[in-house]
Amino acid sequence: MRSIATLVPLLSLLLALAFAVDSAVGETEAASSAQRGYELLTTKAYLPPRLNQALFDQLWKSWEPVPRESAAKASEAERMQMAFHRYGFTSPPAGKPAADGGQVQYVVDQRGNWTMNCMACHQGEVAGRVIPGVPNTRFAMQTFSEDIRQTRLLLDQRLRGEDLGSMIFPMGGSNGTTNAVMFGVVLKHYRDADLNLRPDRSKPQLTHHDMDAPAWWHFKKKTRLYADGFAPKSVRALMPFLLVEQNGPEQFRQWEADFEHIYTYLESLEAPAYPFEIDRRLAGVGEALFVNHCADCHGTYGTEETYPEKIIPLAKIGTDPVRLRALTVENRRDYAASWFAAKDAEQDAVVVDPGGYLAPPLDGVWASAPYFHNGSVPTLWHVLYPDERPKVWRRSTDEEQPKSEFDQRDGYDRTRVGLAVRAFERGPGLLTAGSVKRQYFDTTKFGKSAAGHTFPDELNDEEKRAVLEYLKTL
């Protein structure tokens, strides 16, 4: 008979093997759930269809004269690519399937119906590369809506409710931004706490403004969501934008299980590594400066990462105040009392008056340009040089930007780290087509200021250069 001393190591080994098996099973289940989450996002329609393939194929007939003439001479496949570029549609990340037509921003069913999904704002391209969870900085939601409306009229088709709604409700003043916060306010305003429709309610107070989508790979680090961090992270917190009239309370309860998989998918995303050359010596200098000047708000990175998840008071951060004030205390209280925040005592965690903005994590920051909650700053260099931020800027194209001004023709500025842009003193004239105007970001407009976050002024030029190099490594 074996002694206790002999059995102890054997038992320890068996326990370790059991733990390893459980861990491996858990990882496999999480990977399967994440895959299911991606499939649901890209193949299941949670909203009514916006248009069908037949109408999409005719949209080019409503474009401005020059692109319309080019489209008329192009093949069907070329017109499709022209449309994708105009509206900011992208192919899926490597190894992921696409909807019919090769894009992931809309679910396209077997009957050719197009339904917008979360990828419209949260799946884009950087430096010619599609990156999972990167913000879609080219999504032209307002232009797409206008072209749909104009094409319906051109084809003598009846306008639908959303066509009329987009005439008075702004979708986004600049490509890559949306009026997402006010979408949420309107949708929730006409529901009670249990999500039953209340169409008899008076009109809500709305402050229209543009927002830049956050990087999805930061989701795993956060316990709070949105630019002001007012809402606790949860499965239900991902669902408010489904509150269209056609979706009743029963759909939300059924779909909660779907969004558990979508939640897992978001948690699975990793920040992308900077794909270009890095001066490691200079980055090492920058790391020490970052720890001393930036880590208190943005956390530390490497083997022992930290993220303080601080809400910085508006008076201290100094960035555009419109987003913070647009979502009122009453709006946040309404959310806190609703089904979205009612599970697991989350209602008590809603911050009804945050007073500032949440300092985000910075891993993968090289890929998440433009910067600030409203997308007003095109590069990290401009973040570090507040006085040099352009008043009006537009993303560069091959024809507009001389080759010497940036390194590659993929729209990415490797020197300043961010979008390759041209700067202007003023925006386009009043007679300029809306689709062209939205290619410009005018920081003098309401809610679009690039002011604030002047903390880098504490650093000299050499120190800023070192910090910029370090940010590439995150």
Buried b (16+ CB within 10 A) or exposed e, 150-162: ebbeeeeeeeeeb
- Structure tokens of 281? 């010596």
Q: How far apart are CA 60 and CA 6, in angstroms?
A: 79
Q: How far apart are CA 363 and CA 302, in angstroms?
A: 10
Residue 356 phi/psi, 5-degree rounding, is -175, -165
Beta-carbon contacts of 93 under 8 Å, excluding residues fewer than 6 positions away, are 123, 130, 131, 132
Q: What pLDDT does 278 receive?
A: 97
Reported in sequence order, the residue ranges of 253-411 that DSSP labels E, i.e. its strands, are 311-313, 356-358, 392-395
- Of 138, 118, 367, the closest CA to residue 266 belongs to 118
Q: Find the length of the chain.
A: 474
Q: What per-residue string of b and e applies to 90-100 under the rule 16 or more CB within 10 Å gives b?
A: bebbeeeeebe
Q: Identify the pLDDT of residue 1.
A: 47
pLDDT of residue 296: 96
Chain Cα centroid distance, residue 231 = 17
Per-residue tens of pLDDT for the chain, all 474 residues: 455 556 556 656 655 555 555 555 556 777 899 999 999 999 999 999 999 999 999 999 999 999 999 999 999 989 999 999 999 998 877 666 655 557 899 999 999 999 999 999 999 999 989 999 999 999 999 999 999 999 999 999 999 988 998 889 999 999 999 999 999 999 999 999 999 999 999 999 999 999 999 999 999 999 999 999 999 999 999 999 999 999 999 999 999 999 999 999 999 999 999 999 999 999 999 999 999 999 999 999 988 899 999 999 999 999 999 999 999 999 999 999 999 987 655 556 899 999 999 999 999 999 999 999 999 999 999 999 999 999 999 998 644 444 444 444 689 999 999 999 999 999 998 888 889 999 999 999 999 999 999 999 999 999 999 999 999 999
Q: Closest Cα to residue 228, out of 358, 418, 366, 126?
A: 358
Buried b (16+ CB within 10 A) or exposed e, 189-212: bbbeeebeeeeeeeebeebbbbbb
pTM of the model: 0.89
| Centroid of chain to Cα 369 | 11
Q: Is 300 exposed, middle or buried (0-12, 13-18, 19+ CB in 10 A)?
A: middle
440 and 393 in contact (C-beta within 8 Å)?
A: yes
Q: What's the pLDDT at 343? A: 66
- Kindly write down the DSSP assignment for every residue of 341-371, as one continuous string: G-GGGGGGG--S---EEEPPP-TTGGGS-SB
Closest CA to 104 of 32, 171, 52, 38: 38
Which has the closest alpha carbon to 278: 472, 411, 55?
A: 472
Q: Say how far apart CA 317 and CA 321 lie, in whole Å.
A: 10
Which secondary structure element, helix H or strand E, spans residue 73, and what is its range? helix 65-73
Neighbours of 330 (CB within 10 A): 12
Predicted local confidence at residue 399, as pLDDT? 45
